[in-house]
Every structure is written in C-alpha cells, then in structure tokens.
Amino acid sequence: MSFKDKSLQCSDCGATFTFSVEEQELFQSRGYTNEPKRCPSCREARKSERYGNSGQSYRSQRQMFPAICAECGKETEVPFRPREGRPVYCSECYSKVRLDK
Ligand SMILES: [Zn+2]
Ligand SMILES: [Zn+2]
C-alpha cells in the first residue's frame, strides 16, 4: 500500500494541515486506523495539557492538598485530593513505598 500526502482539517482550530506520508506510515505501524483529527500544534497543546508540563498553560499552578503521610505521620502536600481509605505519603515515603512493591 502506498501513501500520499493528505490535507486534513483540524477539528480544534479549523486549520488545514498535511498528514504526511511519513506520519501515515507511522500511524499504520502503530496500528492506528483513524486519521488525526487535529493539526500538529493542537495535538502538541493537548499532549502537554494532559501531561501538565506545558509551562504557560492555564493549569500551570497545580492545586496542592494538605495531607498526613500514612507512613511517617509528617504533614505533606499532594497534587490530588486525598481520598478516604487511600493512604497518602510524603514524597520521601512515597518513593520508599514504591520501591518496596
Ligand atoms: Zn489545530
Ligand atoms: Zn512520610
């Protein structure tokens, strides 16, 4: 099967972008059957949003929640809301607990 560059429209910003032959081959090699819906820059934006490392994103200030470490009893802060019944660890104990498993 041979590929050709395709012009696609971004579902986010409406810009037309090229779905290049290389990308199509990459997509196929990964088993993706759908064409990308977003232009590269919107894809990048979404990716960095998801991983929370885009720097100037509107979520750059992560909310921290106070918690008590289940291991050493120290006060700590975690980037998620502590849930009842789920132990929360300070960063020190967290790495220890993780290594134990
Ligand atoms: Zn876009
Ligand atoms: Zn601790």
What residues does each domain of the chain span? 6-51, 65-100
pLDDT digits (tens, 9 = 90+) for 40-92: 999 998 888 766 554 454 555 678 889 999 999 999 988 888 888 889 999 89
Average pLDDT over residues 4-33: 94
Looking at the CA of 10, name the nearest ligand: 1
pTM of the model: 0.45
Q: Please report the pLDDT score of residue 98 as a whole number.
A: 82
Average pLDDT over residues 32-41: 92
Q: Please report the pLDDT score of residue 61 as a whole number.
A: 65
Query: Under 8 Å CB-to-CB from 1, ≥6 apart: which residues?
Result: 28
Q: What is the DSSP string of 40-61?
A: HHHHHHHHHHHHT--SSSTT-S
Name the strand (E) or helix (H) holding 85.
none
Q: Name the burial class of residue 39, with classes exposed (0-12), middle (13-18) and buried (19+) by CB atoms within 10 angstroms of its CB.
A: buried
Distance from the CA of 70 to the center of ligand 1, in angstroms? 44
Distance from the CA of 69 to the center of ligand 2, in angstroms? 5
d(CA 34, CA 3): 14
Q: Name the burial class of residue 34, with classes exposed (0-12), middle (13-18) and buried (19+) by CB atoms within 10 angstroms of its CB.
A: exposed
Distance from the CA of 20 to the center of ligand 1, in angstroms? 16
